[in-house]
Amino acid sequence: MIDFKGSHFENEIILWGVRWYVVYPISYRQLEEMMEERGVAVDHATLNRWVIKYAPEVEKAFRAQQRLVGRSWRMDETYVRIKGQWAYLYRAVDKAGHTVDFLLTPTRDRAAATAFLRKAVRSQGLPEKITIDWSGSNTAAIQRYNGAHKTTIMIRHCKYLNNLVEQDHRAVKRMTRPMLGFKSLWTARCTLAGIEVMHSIRKGRY
C-alpha cells in the first residue's frame, strides 16, 4: 500500500530506518551510525526525509487494518515543543488502554478539542462515554458535538480514571525527548504519526 516509486534504496531499508526512528529514542545522527554499522550508507538528512514522507504512509496502511476500540474513552492532551513553542497533542485511549486517535494542534481550546473529537469518531465510531479531567475546552467540545449531531455521549469528570491516558502519554514523550524539538508543525505531525502507529502495534491494535 506504500508507494516507494523513485526511491534509490530498497523498500525494506527505508522501512528499517523509519521504524527504528519512531520506535527507539534516538537522534537522526545516531540512526545514521546504526545504518552504517549494517552496511547502509545514508546520511541523517535523508533519514529525516524518509520519516517525513513515509511515516504518514505507514499510518494510512495501519488505519486500514486496525482493530476497533471500546466505547468508553479517556481523553486528554499533552505538550510537544515546535521551534521553541508549545503545541498540543490531543490523545484518547479506551478503558483497556488501546489508542483511539491523536491530533497535533497549535492551540489548546474548544475548537482544537472539537476537531480531535470529530477525527476520533470518524476513525473509531461513536463512544458511549468519555472521561476527561476538569478541562473546560474538552467539556465544551463534547457538549458541542452532542448538540450538533444529536448524540448522547456521556461526559465523566474523573482525574483518577483519566490517569490511564496521562500515563500513556509517557510512551510518546519518551520518544520525542531525544529529538530536541521539531522544526515545524508538519514535520511534528508526520513523525508523531509513526510514533503513535508503532505504539498502537505494541498494544496489539494491528
How many angstroms separate the Cα of 90 from the Cα of each of 8, 80, 85? 36, 10, 16
pLDDT tens per residue, range 22-59: 999 999 999 999 999 999 999 999 999 999 999 999 99
What does the alpha-carbon distance between residue 61 and residue 146 come to, in Å, rounded to a whole number? Answer: 31
Smallest CA-to-CA distance from 192 within 78, 108, 29, 71 is with: 78
pLDDT tens per residue, range 136-184: 999 999 999 999 999 999 999 998 888 999 999 999 999 988 887 799 9
Cβ 114 vs Cβ 145: under 8 Å? yes
